[in-house]
Amino acid sequence: MTRARVALVDYGAGNLRSVAKALERSGLEVELAADAAVVERADGVVLPGAGAFADGMAGLRRNGLDEALLKALELRRPYLGLCLGVQLLFELGEEHGLTDGLGVVKGRVQRFADVDSRGSRRRVPHIGWNEVQFSGEHPMLEHLPERDFFYFVHSYRPVPADERIVVGRTHYGDEFASVIAQDSIFAVQFHPEKSQHAGLRLLNAYCSWVESSR
């Protein structure tokens, strides 16, 4: 049997090469997707990215990639969102004013406050290694430890309306949702491709999920 093929969405946000190499190490065949046709024929979809929410949505809309992603989700293709790739799933982003997202997850993307709930100063952006505590049920979680450390770089974080979709939590002054899972979506706020062994474990789990969904 041929290897599972995933579409790595190329919409002008972030370094695709490091993500592609990490996915290939996990055993997946990776095809860069700058147009809808590549997304539509893939076994799974990976949306990476770093940068501003509004710029990310503009990049997706430029070549009809937003509609292709929505169709892939409707067909329940395993979706892995990385950093900006989790944020764009939400209804609204608050960076540089309100911007509509893909709207498949209820909630919005908000900036970390400069002061946490205890009144302590919080350094923004959140940069560096931090712990993720996993919980809940999902095919990928079967291959992951209950907690692991991953590399973060972000000023904004997802705030889902439904806490039940949160399967990973991280503490940075206050607790925030660092991993969500809904239907065929598994999306993380951190960068697996920069997270060494922990990141490779997560991508291996994604590979297993895609393979089992074919």
Please say if 126 is a catalytic residue.
Answer: no
C-alpha pair distances (Å), 144 with each of 1, 45, 154, 186, 204: 26, 20, 23, 13, 10
Q: What is the DSSP letter of 7?
A: E
Annotated catalytic residue 211? no
Q: For residue 70, which of 83, 57, 51, 84 has the smallest C-alpha distance?
A: 57
Q: Catalytic one among 126, 138, 154, 191?
A: 191
Q: Considering 83, 126, 138, 154, which one is annotated as catalytic?
A: 83
Catalytic member of 40, 193, 197, 207? 193
Spatial distance between the Cα atoms of 20 and 97, rounded to a whole number of angstroms? 32
Q: Is 207 assigned a catalytic role?
A: no
Q: Answer for the pair 195, 33: CB distance below 8 angstroms, yes or no.
A: no
Q: Could you tell me the maximum CA-CA distance found in the chain, to the nearest angstrom?
A: 56
Residue 48 burial (C-beta neighbours within 10 Å; 0-12, 13-18, 19+): buried
Residue 149 vs residues 99, 126, 144, 193: alpha-carbon distances, Å: 31, 14, 12, 13
Torsion (CA) 80, 82, 84, 89 in degrees, nearest 10 = 20
CB half-sphere exposure, 87, CA atoms < 13 A: 26
DSSP 12: S
Q: Which residues are identified as catalytic?
A: 83, 191, 193
